[in-house]
A and B are shown apart, each in its own frame.
Chain A
């Protein structure tokens, strides 16, 4: 860093060496600045992979595509990669890049094949300022020094991944004075639409199963007669299963190589993505068994409902579905809790995911109850308590969520963490309108729920059913927008950027 002149030769040479298009470069040169004229200090940081000892990419990867060579080079295996991009979220330096044209992630490999043939890596070879050097170090040396030499101005904390890169700073400079030149130029991240759909709808399904199961148990405990709701539970559970299967299938569209989605379970020991796939897979299986069971008993009556209707098997299957679903949501949320993405790296993410289940789940159940009640002309009183309980739960969680969201945003706007501040900036500036719409939707839902609970209170006409389905639609829209904002407003940790590239990206900001 004390030698770099910011000429970008390394960047171009790297792209040429590895045949990369400009969007997918492995090495980038960023800038930081401090001081006032004429004591201005401007430094450049040329960064490829830092070949970390505790590589976040590697522990994130669900397909075991990252390896460390005997020389300590972290390399990526292009063949086994399925393009889930989880590593690109996990790396605090923004090193792995998703190459859309290949459907996989690729990254700097220190030109280890050139090194082994006795040639310099392309960046080293190209640098006219001799600012990049490859040195042999031992693990012990890195561990002893990384907290000092791994820290650069406006660079991510080396404690996150223990980088093996040594940053040489000019003598006498104060790191804290420096700011990234692209600090104020924030821009949104990718929305990952398949993931928005997958997370929202699996969470809805889990919430739905939980409430349906809960009610199933309750009515069996409280009513002596055989299932007074007819086939509602069967149909509802089957619909939730369909939602789950479709959204899980849709989530593979997020992958660069959907056909190899099955590989994602490989690293369940280390990767939360593998764990999520396993847990949600288990959830889908348990839900399927549960639905089949319900079909055979309540639905088709092939199994004697007197014998099987309230059997332990029913409770076991139902409970297993709910528990695996809850574990699935937890695993989902843990994927996002990476230090490289401060806005995600919080228990709030887990709360967000569970709260979605606790809002959409009961609301869906309420709609189902209302619909079936109306269609079968069932006495409104027979399910009124369940209905009101569902809607009230939904309303309470939503109100809580809205308050927490507002509080978090305020907190982040004054955060000492630049990335969190930038996230708040995206919410309040770039996505000003969408955030407003989201808040309107939340407010409307609460008003609608309050109105229905206080004024109507029971299903007496088709209007009530329509009203509740309308509320569900509003709430689904709210959840989709909230999740969209969750994805796009995260500001990842990264090396300092290139001002002009950032300015161009930030130019899309609504004026």
Chain B
């Protein structure tokens, strides 16, 4: 009372609260931001994998900074990383296990009851409807140790046939494309390439917005030529030496055109092609038709721009081809990736620093689940359909090879189809939010009404997904658990616990172990395991001799070196900067496959002006479905509302002014009352909308079209129509 009066009168101006002091590590700063100790870890948002230090005081992370000694980011962080500690304290953390009662309301229960219910209902459904009636959807957000644990639990302990992750929504095309070309997943290059290449060719990648720290790395390169191919003039494209304003889905035609020109201009590295690849003759025949004239017509690019791009590749001593979702999220995602690989292969741009076809991943540990997740491949990049691989794994685990699956089972969209058909009755969703992120929400919502048991394991509640769940398992998140993340350049970095999880939330590792106990399989699959470090030790053994070799790693070395790029073994104790330096690929004959692909039309035609092409994507301020960033005050302030970008010409056609809102419709659904942003960064008759906002969910509009090989959704092009919201006086 007195304090309030003093403040009101102005006697007090909260001087003490805003006092500055000197921190021994960071220097002069706000006194209340000075912790008792700093803990090194790795950022938990995106795949760049920035090193961080977390300042802990009284079991609370009160400050974070970039780790100046970390080779990835050298102390830099993006705004999400700089405010990551607020996520831990956010109001929407999941604190207690919740079980839906007979009235359909989620009610707090204790862990024993939650896990007992989980095991009982899961096993009952499995017994009743067969082994194909249960499925798991995982994530790219857990530590690798947890992915490995979950994989073993799902496949070997619970016998789940259909097990996939949200990584299928963001990078499965890259993984499939690598497998098609090189016989294995695994990005061949590293960030060092951004600094050393003389040509950096970004295709469908807006790193200035989505991976700002990679932009920092790219800026160190003073002699580069930067070519950016994107239908939008993104922040990244603004800085390009050559910007290719391509028509949506023009990438396959462009790549074919570039291959055509390189062959025509004798730019093929014939020695490399002869020695290390197969399929050149078919490629040559295939590419012959893709003259610049034809490609120009198909892509909307000028002949000069196409020629200039080809010339830049021809002149480059080190060419770095990098892409993200613009390539991956397409019905031709896998083949487009393989085509980029092909371009790199015929020009010999692989196996050296600065020369690589490089997929920039999305989530902090999408790579970890690719390496050890037991979803699209078996741990250690092993193939389900290889008897040898199964044999090897079974031997490592001391079990019979017949216990291992011979097929990967359904991928994410096929699991949703399975639910819709009524084949799948129980679904366990871990660390992902399909009720915002999956395309064609209407279909998902309808399909999932048929689920008998939905378990949501997440660090946050309520989310649109946990609200749907019958059982909510509260999980610890980044900052509250130990393990490792692998970034886009194969760098396994240490992730450390700084504080305890809130409420009764447990680490995902602990939850998996307790579920294993409830399913009575602990001895079988996790003998003598105590902590996630035991999983790490087994991962090292399982990956020994594989491409993603962890055998030479230790937590201590990972922390000391700021992560280690696999393969790391006795031969390469410090890891490797590039894969395939010897031209030996992971195929049976050791040769890479050159891929010849024709373009297919977009899954949905959009005839202007009545139909517009809707593109979706991320923005720098938010992370995915905003369960994490939506409660970080400064990020929410910077990007508080959803918006849709529209070209001034299109806006004028529809008589839309800057203050207007519009409704957007597609054959699948609608988004109502969205703020427009009139900007010439999008092409006429195209729209762009971020996918972060459940309150204006662009995935009500996106379509159920998937790459047949990777099963990745075609998020980037949907046909929509719009209507201006009329204002009423």
Does B530 sit within 8 A of A, measured CB to CB?
no
CB contacts (< 8 Å) of A9 on chain B: these are 76-79, 82, 212
Establish whether residues B620 and A7, one from each chain, have CB atoms under 8 Å apart when the complex forms: yes
| Residue in A3, A18, A22 whose beta carbon sits within 8 Å of that of B633 in the complex | A22
Task: Name A49-99 residues within 8 Å CB distance of B.
Answer: 78-79, 81-83
Q: How far is the CB of B428 from chain A (nearest CB, A)?
A: 35
Does A500 sit within 8 A of B, measured CB to CB?
yes
Instruction: Tell me the bound Cα distance from A43 to B233 in angstroms.
Output: 12
Does A181 sit within 8 A of B, measured CB to CB?
yes
Establish whether residues A40 and B213, one from each chain, have CB atoms under 8 Å apart when the complex forms: no
* Of A112-120, A143-151, A294-302, A457-465, the one touching chain B: A112-120
* Of A29-37, A215-223, A272-280, the one touching chain B: A29-37
1/0 per residue, CB under 8 A from A, across B298-337: the answer is: 0000000000000000000000000000000000000000
Q: How far is the CB of A220 from chain B (nearest CB, A)?
A: 46
CB contacts (< 8 Å) of B621 on chain A: these are 8
Establish whether residues A256 and B10, one from each chain, have CB atoms under 8 Å apart when the complex forms: yes
1/0 per residue, CB under 8 A from B, across A411-433: the answer is: 00000000000000000000000
CB contacts (< 8 Å) of B641 on chain A: these are 500, 503-504, 507
Does A225 sit within 8 A of B, measured CB to CB?
no
Instruction: Tell me the bound Cα distance from A310 to B13 in angstroms.
Output: 52
Does A494 sit within 8 A of B, measured CB to CB?
no
Establish whether residues B637 and A23, one from each chain, have CB atoms under 8 Å apart when the complex forms: yes
Does B657 sit within 8 A of A, measured CB to CB?
yes
Establish whether residues B680 and A37, one from each chain, have CB atoms under 8 Å apart when the complex forms: yes
Task: Name B220-266 residues within 8 Å CB distance of A.
Answer: 233, 235-236, 238-239, 243, 245
Establish whether residues A511 and B728, one from each chain, have CB atoms under 8 Å apart when the complex forms: yes
Establish whether residues B659 and A40, one from each chain, have CB atoms under 8 Å apart when the complex forms: no
Q: A126-B82, A184-B657 are in contact. Are A82 and B10 (CB under 8 A)?
A: yes
Instruction: Tell me the bound Cα distance from A101 to B682 in angstroms.
Output: 41
A: number of interface residues (CB 8 Å):
69
Q: A37-B245, A130-B219, A256-B10 are in contact. Are A12 and B83 (CB under 8 A)?
A: yes
Does B9 sit within 8 A of A, measured CB to CB?
yes
| Residue in B33, B635, B659 whose beta carbon sits within 8 Å of that of A184 in the complex | B659
Establish whether residues B9 and A511, one from each chain, have CB atoms under 8 Å apart when the complex forms: no
Task: Name A259-292 residues within 8 Å CB distance of B.
Answer: 259-260
Interface centre among B27, B636, B641 (most CB of A within 10 A): B27
Interface centre among A21, A37, A117, A507 (most CB of B within 10 A): A37
* Of B14-22, B139-147, B531-539, B709-717, the one touching chain A: B14-22
Residue of chain A at shortest CB distance from B207:
A5
Establish whether residues A501 and B679, one from each chain, have CB atoms under 8 Å apart when the complex forms: no
Q: A129-B215, A260-B10, A504-B641 are in contact. Are A38 and B245 (CB under 8 A)?
A: yes
Q: A5-B235, A102-B18, A511-B728 are in contact. Are A125 and B677 (CB under 8 A)?
A: no
Interface centre among A9, A25, A78, A499 (most CB of B within 10 A): A9
Instruction: Tell me the bound Cα distance from A38 to B229 in angstroms.
Output: 12
Task: Name B662-693 residues within 8 Å CB distance of A.
Answer: 675, 677, 679-684
Instruction: Tell me the bound Cα distance from A9 to B66 in angstroms.
Output: 11
Interface centre among A23, A185, A256, A500 (most CB of B within 10 A): A500
B: number of interface residues (CB 8 Å):
70
Does B557 sit within 8 A of A, measured CB to CB?
no
Does B654 sit within 8 A of A, measured CB to CB?
no
Establish whether residues A33 and B680, one from each chain, have CB atoms under 8 Å apart when the complex forms: yes
Does B45 sit within 8 A of A, measured CB to CB?
no
Establish whether residues B30 and A5, one from each chain, have CB atoms under 8 Å apart when the complex forms: no
Instruction: Tell me the bound Cα distance from A511 to B63 in angstroms.
Output: 43
Does A41 sit within 8 A of B, measured CB to CB?
yes
Residue of chain A at shortest CB distance from B684:
A37
Q: A17-B30, A79-B15, A259-B10 are in contact. Are A501 and B658 (CB under 8 A)?
A: no
| Residue in A22, A83, A181, A510 whose beta carbon sits within 8 Å of that of B679 in the complex | A181
CB contacts (< 8 Å) of A506 on chain B: these are 659
CB contacts (< 8 Å) of B3 on chain A: these are none
Does A191 sit within 8 A of B, measured CB to CB?
no
Establish whether residues A258 and B28, one from each chain, have CB atoms under 8 Å apart when the complex forms: no
CB contacts (< 8 Å) of B635 on chain A: these are 12
| Residue in B18, B77, B235 whose beta carbon sits within 8 Å of that of A6 in the complex | B235
Does A257 sit within 8 A of B, measured CB to CB?
yes
Residue of chain A at shortest CB distance from B636:
A22
Instruction: Tell me the bound Cα distance from A113 to B633 in angstroms.
Output: 27
1/0 per residue, CB under 8 A from B, across A375-419: the answer is: 000000000000000000000000000000000000000000000
Does A365 sit within 8 A of B, measured CB to CB?
no
Instruction: Tell me the bound Cα distance from A181 to B639 in angstroms.
Output: 14
Does B38 sit within 8 A of A, measured CB to CB?
no
CB contacts (< 8 Å) of B239 on chain A: these are 5
Q: A36-B680, A103-B7 are in contact. Are A500 and B643 (CB under 8 A)?
A: yes
Q: How far is the CB of B367 from chain A (nearest CB, A)?
A: 22
Does A111 sit within 8 A of B, measured CB to CB?
yes
Q: How far is the CB of A501 from chain B (nearest CB, A)?
A: 7
Q: How far is the CB of B362 from chain A (nearest CB, A)?
A: 17
CB contacts (< 8 Å) of A15 on chain B: these are 634
Does A473 sit within 8 A of B, measured CB to CB?
no
Q: A16-B83, A259-B10, A500-B638 are in contact. Are A119 and B235 (CB under 8 A)?
A: no
Establish whether residues B10 and A128, one from each chain, have CB atoms under 8 Å apart when the complex forms: no
Does B583 sit within 8 A of A, measured CB to CB?
no
Establish whether residues B233 and A7, one from each chain, have CB atoms under 8 Å apart when the complex forms: no
Does A357 sit within 8 A of B, measured CB to CB?
no
Interface centre among A23, A127, A504 (most CB of B within 10 A): A504
Does A42 sit within 8 A of B, measured CB to CB?
yes
Residue of chain B at shortest CB distance from A130:
B219
CB contacts (< 8 Å) of A25 on chain B: these are 634
Q: How far is the CB of B666 from chain A (nearest CB, A)?
A: 23
Does A255 sit within 8 A of B, measured CB to CB?
yes
Interface centre among A38, A130, A511 (most CB of B within 10 A): A38
Q: A12-B634, A102-B18 are in contact. Are A257 and B233 (CB under 8 A)?
A: no
Q: A126-B77, A185-B659, A260-B10 are in contact. Are A503 and B212 (CB under 8 A)?
A: no
Q: How far is the CB of A230 from chain B (nearest CB, A)?
A: 43
Establish whether residues A129 and B27, one from each chain, have CB atoms under 8 Å apart when the complex forms: no
| Residue in A6, A23, A184 whose beta carbon sits within 8 Å of that of B620 in the complex | A6
Does B208 sit within 8 A of A, measured CB to CB?
yes
Does A509 sit within 8 A of B, measured CB to CB?
yes
Q: A40-B233, A257-B13, A258-B9 are in contact. Are A114 and B27 (CB under 8 A)?
A: yes
Q: A12-B83, A78-B15 are in contact. Are A33 and B679 (CB under 8 A)?
A: yes
Q: How far is the CB of A310 from chain B (nearest CB, A)?
A: 46
Establish whether residues B33 and A19, one from each chain, have CB atoms under 8 Å apart when the complex forms: yes
Does B580 sit within 8 A of A, measured CB to CB?
no
Instruction: Tell me the bound Cα distance from A9 to B213 in angstroms.
Output: 11
Instruction: Tell me the bound Cα distance from A43 to B235 in angstroms.
Output: 9
Nearest 9 interchain pairs by C-beta: A257-B10, A38-B245, A184-B658, A128-B216, A22-B637, A19-B30, A511-B727, A5-B208, A40-B680
Chain A interface residues toward B at CB < 8 A: 3, 5-9, 11-13, 15-19, 21-23, 25, 33, 35-38, 40-43, 78-79, 81-83, 101-104, 111, 113-114, 117, 119, 122, 125-130, 181, 183-185, 255-260, 498-501, 503-504, 506-507, 509-511
Chain B interface residues toward A at CB < 8 A: 7-11, 13-15, 17-18, 20, 22, 27-30, 32-33, 63, 66, 75-79, 82-83, 208-209, 212-213, 215-216, 219, 233, 235-236, 238-239, 243, 245, 620-621, 633-641, 643, 647-649, 657-659, 675, 677, 679-684, 727-729
Q: Could you give 26 example pairs across A and B, Cβ below 8 Å? A: A5-B212, A7-B208, A12-B83, A16-B33, A16-B83, A19-B18, A22-B633, A22-B634, A33-B680, A36-B649, A37-B233, A38-B683, A40-B679, A113-B20, A122-B29, A126-B66, A128-B76, A129-B208, A181-B677, A185-B659, A255-B10, A256-B10, A257-B10, A259-B9, A501-B637, A507-B641
Given contacts A16-B82, A185-B658, 14 further A-B contacts (CB under 8 A): A5-B239, A7-B620, A8-B621, A11-B638, A35-B680, A37-B680, A183-B658, A185-B659, A259-B11, A500-B639, A500-B643, A501-B637, A506-B659, A507-B675
